[in-house]
Amino acid sequence: MKAAVTTQTGNPEVIQTKEVPKPEVKSGWVLIKVKAFGLNRSEIFTRKGDSPGVEFPCIQGIECVGIVEEDPSGIYKKGQQVAAIMGGMGRFFDGGYAEYASVPLEIVFPFSSSLQWDILGAIPEMFQTVSGSLNQALDIQSGETLLIRGGTSSIGMLACQLAKIKGLTVISTTRNPTKKQSLLDNGSDHIAIDEGLVEDQVRALFPDGVHKVLELIGTSTLKDSLKCIAPKGLVCMTGILGNEWTMKEFTPMGDIPSLGRLTVYMGESKNLSKELLQEFIDEIENGKIKLNIDSIFSLDQVAEAHQYMEDNKARGKIVVLT
């Protein structure tokens, strides 16, 4: 089969598309004929050698969508549409950057849809992250105010749509004023221009602060996000777009306001349910939700797609079609 193999750690050119043996089918695993997969920023860290325990060469890709080629358990039928995400995929065993992927049964999610594969490929990890962050970590409720820090990211754009459907008021941030209109078109009620501090802009709109914050920039803006919450407000750090994993100084009694709450979301396949995924796919099919897909690459162009993602050129999800 053809696969985009990460031959060693390094820059995008270490990813080379070549012929490799098709994976063996084993008991408890499902062989998927991959049709498409989304690219994820965590795959840049893995490529660079920053994901502990990953050995090279390997086939990366923490998610894929496709059809069942073989399932020794008999649970899934040949040709059935499925998605697979996380659970060590593309890190501890070969992942989705290939024509076929063999994955454990636990990370397989069946679905049925007439949407095109490029749209379906954008969904699994993006939906798991947004749904888990909003519903499980932030426990969003109708009538609340939500600040999305990193609003133009694909996670941020989808989070805004789901929060609006649930009846929240949303403020989205961007560093780039030219992206203001696309955030409004996506449903945001207010925009804050983020040069590192947005507390004043947020308090000008909501003097008591916001109920919830989805923090996608990470440690570089986290202290300011904590300053934006109302008493008993909650901040969830889900992303690290600012590329800073560790905060230099953090004083809990000082940086977290009294009664304020801080959590993180590190999604896994167990955070996703088969029913929720199908419902979400149906909502896209019915036109209730619009996915922001920036570009489609082919399996021969995965190195190029990694470079594009790393250069921050995308304004939406990057998808690869096999």
Ligand X SMILES: NC(=O)c1ccc[n+]([C@@H]2O[C@H](COP(=O)([O-])OP(=O)(O)OC[C@H]3O[C@@H](n4cnc5c(N)ncnc54)[C@H](OP(=O)(O)O)[C@@H]3O)[C@@H](O)[C@H]2O)c1
Task: Please report, as ranges, the residues that interact with ligand X according to CB under 6 A.
Answer: 40-42, 125, 129, 150, 152-155, 174-176, 179, 216-217, 238-243, 265-267, 312, 314
In the complex, what is the shortest distance from the CB of residue 31 to ligand X, in angstroms, rounded to a whole number? 26
In the complex, what is the shortest distance from the CB of residue 24 to ligand X, in angstroms, rounded to a whole number? 29
Question: Nearer to ligand X by C-beta: 57 or 88?
Answer: 88
In the complex, what is the shortest distance from the CB of residue 173 to ligand X, in angstroms, rounded to a whole number? 7
Using alpha carbons, select from 156, 149, 166 the residue that is nearest to residue 213: 149
In the complex, what is the shortest distance from the CB of residue 77 to ligand X, in angstroms, rounded to a whole number? 30
Question: Nearer to ligand X by C-beta: 176 or 181?
Answer: 176
Distance CA 92, CA 106 (A): 15
Using alpha carbons, select from 178, 173, 19 the residue that is nearest to residue 98: 19
Distance CA 121, CA 263 (A): 29
Distance CA 21, CA 307 (A): 27
Looking at 8-85, list the stretches that DSSP marks H as alpha helix, in order from N- to C-terminal side: 42-47
DSSP3 helix / strand / coil % (the chain, rounded to 5):
30, 30, 40
- Closest residue to ligand X, judged by C-beta, is 239
In the complex, what is the shortest distance from the CB of residue 14 to ligand X, in angstroms, rounded to a whole number? 20
Question: Nearer to ligand X by C-beta: 247 or 266?
Answer: 266
Distance CA 45, CA 242 (A): 13
Question: Nearer to ligand X by C-beta: 144 or 194?
Answer: 194
Question: Nearer to ligand X by C-beta: 81 or 153?
Answer: 153
DSSP assignment of 47-64: HTT-STT--SSEE--SEE
Using alpha carbons, select from 87, 92, 95 the residue that is nearest to residue 32: 95
In the complex, what is the shortest distance from the CB of residue 43 to ligand X, in angstroms, rounded to a whole number? 9
Question: Nearer to ligand X by C-beta: 251 or 312?
Answer: 312
In the complex, what is the shortest distance from the CB of residue 181 to ligand X, in angstroms, rounded to a whole number? 12
Q: How many CB atoms lie within 10 A of CB 79?
A: 9
Residue 246 gets the label, from left (phi > 0), alpha (psi -120 to 50) or beta, of: beta
Question: Nearer to ligand X by C-beta: 69 or 188?
Answer: 188
